[in-house]
Amino acid sequence: MNKKASGLLDLGRKRRAERWRRYACIGDFHGGAYECEFVSPYTKSAGNVDANVMVLLQDWASEDVLAGPFLPDRVEHGYDPARGTNRRLKQRLSTHLGLELKDIYATNVFPFVKRGAQNAPVPMRDLVRVAREFALPQIEIVSPILAICLGRAAFAAVVRAMGQRPPATIDASIRTPARMGSTQVWCQAHTGSIGTNNRNKGGIDRVSQDWAAMAMSNSAMDPPGLSCGGHRARICAGGSSPGR
């Protein structure tokens, strides 16, 4: 096991050892079947510790979702493949970066379980605290070229945890990436239906434009649609997965 994988597993142990007031834990449901060794179960399918692209979703699941029917796919993959959020994310990665989940490192900014429905908000103070404890250390360990935060809340939490002031709107956030060391931290609209539809209001496919602009502006990527080669070989090159 390499140093990166070891550090990430240490963060997973830290997450499992903590219980935050007002929130449940991943292991509280279905006899602990959804529990995992990482900060987020999403890393099961997106666990390339040497990835040049990292994706940070906001939170993994809510109590209403996890208390529902048991889903073996959620155990196997670390996410529900049928959810639009995940299908759209895979489409964006493939279309604009030429990547699959296995090529990247993915996690959730908030790795605990909120009350209520999946679209229930998490207070920003809690998002910032958890970003400081878990998201920033993961970015530091993986050290990707590009870290993509899905949704303004996830982006604002990461930026605030870095000690910076985030832009006030989703449009300004998408146009104003932050930097953490050698990593560019970008905001993109959440890939759920609400985030996607809000960004594409008026029938304009802004989401595709946003991802294309991000790919074009990042010095590590060739224009979308090109096969791996040149600078983009750094993105497409395979790396190691976390030791499990």
The residues, any chain, with a CB within 8 Å of residue 58's CB and separated by 6 or more, are 108, 109, 110, 122, 127, 150, 151, 153, 154, 190
In a domain, 198, yes or no: yes
In a domain, 105, yes or no: yes
Name the β-bridge partners of 55.
106, 148
The residue range of the domain holding 228 is 3-236
In a domain, 25, yes or no: yes
- % of the chain at pLDDT higher than 70: 89
Q: What is the CATH number of the domain that holds 124?
A: 3.40.470.10
In a domain, 101, yes or no: yes
User: Residue 1: pLDDT band by 50, 70, 90 thresholds?
Assistant: confident
Over residues 14-35, the mean pLDDT reads 97
d(CA 96, CA 99): 8
- Res 239: pLDDT: 47
In a domain, 86, yes or no: yes
**Is residue 231 scored above 70 in pLDDT?**
no
Query: pTM of the full predicted structure?
Result: 0.90
d(CA 183, CA 74): 30
In a domain, 244, yes or no: no
